[in-house]
Structure 1
Amino acid sequence: MRRTALALALPPAAAVLVLAGCTASDTTPPPAPAGVTAQAGSATSVHVMWQDPAAADGVRNYQVFQAGRLVRELPADKTMVDVTGLTPQTAYAFTVRARDGAGNTSAPSAAARATTPAARAEDHRAPTAPARTTGRPDGPRSATLSWTAATDDTAVTAYDIYQGGIRIHTAGPGETAATLTGLQPDTAYTFTVRARDGADNSSPDGPAVDLTTPPSDGQGPGTAPTGFSAAASPGAVTLTWTAPDTGRATTAYELHVNGRPVTVIQFGAGAVPPPGGTVEHRLTVAEPAGTVWVLRLRARLPDGNWGAFSADRRIVLAG
Structure 2
Amino acid sequence: MAVGVGSVVLPVAANAGEEDSALGAACRVADRSTVWWASGEVLLTNKGDRPVRDWTAEFDVSQGQVTLDNPWAYELRQDGKHVTIKPIADRADVAAGGNRPVKVGINPAGKGMPEITGCRVNGASGNGGDTGTTPAVPADSGSFAKDHTAVHLMWKPPAGGAEIVRYEVFQNGKQLKTVKDTMTDIERLAPATRYTFKVRAVRSDGRTTGFSKDIVLTTLAAPGQDKAKPVIPADLEATASGPYQAALRWRAATDDVAVTGYRIYRNGAKVQEADAKATSATVSGLTASTAHRFKVTAVDASGKESDPTREAQVTTTAAPDGTGTAAPGDFAATTAVKQDGGVTQHYLNLTWSVPQGVGQITTYQVHLNGKPAQTFMWGAGDPVLPVPTVKGSREVLVGSHPGSTYTVKIRARLGDGTWGAFSRELTVRTAG
Determine which structure has more spread, i.e. the larger CA radius of gyration: 2
Q: TM-score range by the shorter chain?
A: 0.3 to 0.5
TM-score by length of 2: 0.36
| TM-score, normalised by the number of residues in structure 1 | 0.45
Higher RCO (C-alpha under 8 Å, 6+ residues apart): 1
